[in-house]
Amino acid sequence: NTPSCVLLTAPPAAGKTTMVSQAVVVTLDESELVPIIVKVQKLQVRLRDQEKREIFSSAWNWIDAFLCLEHEPAVYRMLRQALMARRALLLIDGLDEGGQIRDEIERHVTEVLAPQGHIMLLTSRPAGISASGFEGFRRLQLSPLTEEQQQHVLRQRLGEEDAAKLQPYLERMPIDTETKQRVTSNPLMLSMIASVYELRKGIDMPRTVAELYSTASDAMLARGGAASPALRRLLQAVFFEAHVAQRRLIEDRQLDEAALGLDAPDELAAIRERAMASPFEPFEGRAEMGHYAEVVGGEHKGKRGVVTTDTADDRLRPYK
């Protein structure tokens, strides 16, 4: 049992990284632990660097090697002392962002870091996280914002009067099919609507969700200084690839396919043909959402695709 290890899951943009930042503040104020944030996205980049792989292989754990590469010697020595004394709080943010070596990173967390006795808070999107892989970890789930919390956020940001004016608009927002709550229960969506309201002060809010997304997208692109026709074209292609694959979470694969489809469609077609013809390596265990699979029986035998739905009931047709 590892009661000092916690796995926190929540959908995209639900506040996981914000909570990690708050954990740093609380830890510094109320405990003697040293908070150490490790972004899994950066960790996997370091691990995939063949020139640096030897550092990870010789270290007593990957966090120690990562800190050695990320920080100047004086800072690294201080953090290493905290690690060795088990006086560090490891905040490992974004387990789902481990890319091609995600499984390796998860195994290192459960088979090396946890047995070594480190205190850890891990965050991840729920997709792909198996209960069996984190047995003994305390499991927490970040809940969507309640209507009362949404109003509190808007009052703090817009003031009492404007928050009250915006309330009828929020009540017309669609219901999320997964959470069964309004889409504004997601902090990013709520912030987006508040931003649009501030931009359109004195003008009616967008009448449709599509118009709302369009306005918000234009604002975000303009703020980033990258609202070029080429970027818009690429984003449209990325969203199309994600829609065709029925993927709510956009990953490198959709970006790569969109870019190739726009500038080198023949090359993309050739890659897909080679992928369809290449044999699969054997896989032991149950297929999971996100896996690329081949149908081995029935009317669709021989066809391949990404697992997008799993009913978890093998008596039915569990997969889509």
Whether the predicted pLDDT of 1 surpasses 70: no
The residues pairing with 292 across neighbouring beta strands, listed in sequence order, are: 306
Token digits of residue 98: 């481990």
Q: What is the DSSP string of 224-292?
A: TT---HHHHHHHHHHHHHHHHTT-SS--HHHHHHHHHHHH-HHHHHHHHHHHHHSPPPP--S---TT-E
Confidence of residue 23 (pLDDT cuts 50, 70, 90): very high
List C-alpha distances in Å: 125 to 19, 130, 138, 249: 14, 11, 16, 10
| 286 within 8 A of 280, measured Cβ to Cβ | no
Q: What is the pLDDT of residues 223-242, one digit of tens each?
A: 766 667 888 888 888 888 77
Round to the nearest angstrom and report the end-to-end CA distance of the chain: 35
Q: Which two tokens stand for residue 309?
A: 């739905």
Q: How confident is the model at residue 300 (pLDDT cuts 50, 70, 90)?
A: confident
pLDDT range class, residue 77, cuts 50, 70, 90: very high
- Whether the full predicted model's pTM is greater than 0.95, yes or no, is no
β pairing state of 292-294 and 304-306: antiparallel
246 band by pLDDT with thresholds 50, 70 and 90: low
Confidence of residue 282 (pLDDT cuts 50, 70, 90): confident
Flag whether pLDDT at 143 surpasses 70.
yes
Q: What pLDDT does residue 2 have?
A: 52
Give the containing element (helix H, strand E) for 129.
none
Q: How confident is the model at residue 212 (pLDDT cuts 50, 70, 90)?
A: confident
Looking at per-residue pLDDT, the higher value among 19 and 241 belongs to: 19
Tell me: the pLDDT tens digits for 175-207?
A: 877 778 888 999 988 998 998 998 888 788 888
Please determine, for residue 66, whether its predicted confidence score (pLDDT) is greater than 80.
Answer: yes
**Mean pLDDT on 254-270:** 89
Q: Distance of CA 40 to CAs 33, 48, 63, 246, Å?
A: 21, 12, 10, 25
206 CB neighbour count, 10 Å cutoff: 17
156-178: per-residue pLDDT in tens?
999 999 999 999 999 888 887 77
What mean pLDDT is reported for the chain? 87
DSSP symbol at 295: -
